[in-house]
Amino acid sequence: MPADRGPGRVVWVTGASSGIGLATALACAARGDRLVLSSRAPGPLEEAARQCRAAGSPDVLVAPLDIGDDDAVRAVGQRARQRFGRLDVVVQNAGVAAYGRIDEVPAEVLEALFRTNVLGAAHVAGEAVRTFREQGDGVLVVVGSVLGRLTVPWMGAYNASKFALRGLVRTMQQENRDVPGLRISLVAPGGVDTPIYDQSATVLGRRNRPPYPVASPEDVAAKVLRAADTDQRWHRELDAGWANPAMKAAFGLAPGLFDALSRPAMRLLGFAPGRRPSGPGNVLAPQPDGERLRQRR
């Protein structure tokens, strides 16, 4: 974010009631930033706002939002500008996941996942860029995934959405080079201890878990702030996970071996003991009881 703004910037975080989004909001609050918090779950969002005020944010706007609705995204952007006069940083973090072979994932789940992870991200990014171009400056940080650079079995819908998201971000970086004060970054986590695994859709009837090595949501939030604070325009993509470079290299340099090992590795690392009912999780509608900073133990 612009170096001369310091604490007290206006930061809009989507998916702010849970996981990485909540950790990012709390980290910004501790720095004295003014916040716009959005997610689909109003109750947990109010609790997130309470925590942010307690952590040091002087002003928090609670703005429930389904990012798949472009009109609603634009309306929140307008509310934020009316309240604070500008936006300095937008963190597009909201996302959902689904487990199962592509041919087994119900069509309505597949469509809803892409509506959130790709179209919704595009709506938020578009609103951010329109605002920043008008202002002449601003920072957009999009939270993607290492699965935008490599694939694993039984997460094909999520893989595809994160590949699309990375393409979206790279294109927007190219398109907005004419505004020197406008910066766009992608943060790509590996496994993170967040509720997305408990909340995901599944047709497998198995419990999901973040694969080793597992980062904390605070670790990823620190990378988000680093991306937002970095002035260099070349700082386009940040990994959040020490194993990400090795996994990306293996996927690109030894694809046959990577594919052969991916199924047993996913069975060992991607699923926890025990069963859970198959169903849409929070893909079709929010599950407020599942909103928290970390995965349920």
Q: At what angle do helices 156-175 and 121-135 cross, to 10 degrees?
A: 20
Q: Which of 41, 229, 69 is nearest to 16 (CA)?
A: 41
* Six token digits for residue 142: 């999009």
Residue type, 6: G
Catalytic residue, chosen from 99, 158, 197, 212, is: 158
Contact assessment for residue 139 and residue 185, using Cβ atoms and an 8 Å cutoff: yes
SS3 190: coil
Query: What 8-state DSSP symbol labels residue 196?
Result: H
CA dihedral 93, 98, 103, 108 (to 10 degrees): -80
Q: What is the DSSP string of 3-56?
A: TTT-TT-EEEEESTTSHHHHHHHHHHHHTT-EEEEE-S-HHHHHHHHHHHHHHT
Instruction: Assess whether 212 carries a catalytic annotation.
Output: no
- Active site residue ranges: 158
